[in-house]
Structure 1
Amino acid sequence: MEFCPLLENLDIQIKRTKSDARERRLYEALGSLPGLKNLTLNTFEPRIPDEPKIPDPEDVECTFSDFDKKLSMRSSDVRNAHVRDILINRAVDETLMGSIWNIILNSQSSRSLESLRFINMPMTGYLSHPSGPLHATAYALADMIRSYHVTAARHGGTRFRIRELRVMNWEANRNRSLVVTEDLKEIID
């Protein structure tokens, strides 16, 4: 079934879920938009719950170890599983971007997708605040997380180009805006 046949540009926030079945269904659903040409996916970190999430039965990993349930820091409600999940969800590379592109494009009857921007948003708020429990993790992630721009090599084809993007957080200047620039790095599949 195809929805919103006239929608060509979409910019949405997504919550990554470790590339599990639920996340794949999200990308397939985006592929059901037949007229979609330009898609921007912005990741975000939801509030960390008091306990690790109840696993989805469709996920490969359905259990949490005793280590995962332990508090990550003494004066924090952040558990080891939370830190691990943040690291997994922020780890995006060219291979994963190519997979996301292919899932969306192969789910799209018209194969009209021309551009996919994947913006790995910097951590903000309580978790990354200098007095927050994940300040050191957020600081380390700032140099590790990557954002990408994938474009079709030619309209309707399966080949694509991937460019790494630089995302700079201007929150320190109270501007709260992000600046995204294309890096010189280009990967062609």
Structure 2
Amino acid sequence: MKVRFKVRLKDRERVALLAGGILAIAIISYYLFLWYGDFREYTSGRIEAKSIYLKKQSGIVAEKAFIKRRLVNVKDDLKVLETGLLPGEKAPLSAAELQRLLKEMAESLNIEIRSEKAVSPVDMGEYLGVPVEIGFNATTAKLKNMLFKIQESPLLLTVSGLKIRVGNVRNPGGLNISLTVRGLVKKEAGE
């Protein structure tokens, strides 16, 4: 059984119903347009942020090969430089070796060492600085030659202290010199 409703609308009611429908569609369209604009703005911001992040990450990936090559080069350079470390496993042995080396340098220049003293090691990160202080009398020319020999040594040696005293001010040929030379030795794993 079918039930039919016959509704007769007057012209005024039809116009009001049509105007209400159009107004409802306009309001719904307006809110859909606002939602679509916000969604587009949100997605464009996300896309821009993702593209910046992607550029950054691709830059890091591109630098990876360069960084690996640089690391290999630095390790090779470190191996070459570590050949200049003092021989000896511990600081006292290295200090004795440095004293022997300084004596040989002084003897080759006819300099007589009057005093020598191993100073306590200095912590320098992964390495220990092993200073040795020597005292001798020499002329300025011999001092210059001694400093030149220290500089030209295959070991990494630095002059960390130099004290010069003149015995006779009128004749400054003979100088009393106290020279502190520091070499490097690699720290032991337990230190």
TM-score by length of 2: 0.24
Structure number with higher helix proportion:
2
**Which entry has the higher C-alpha Rg, 1 or 2?**
2
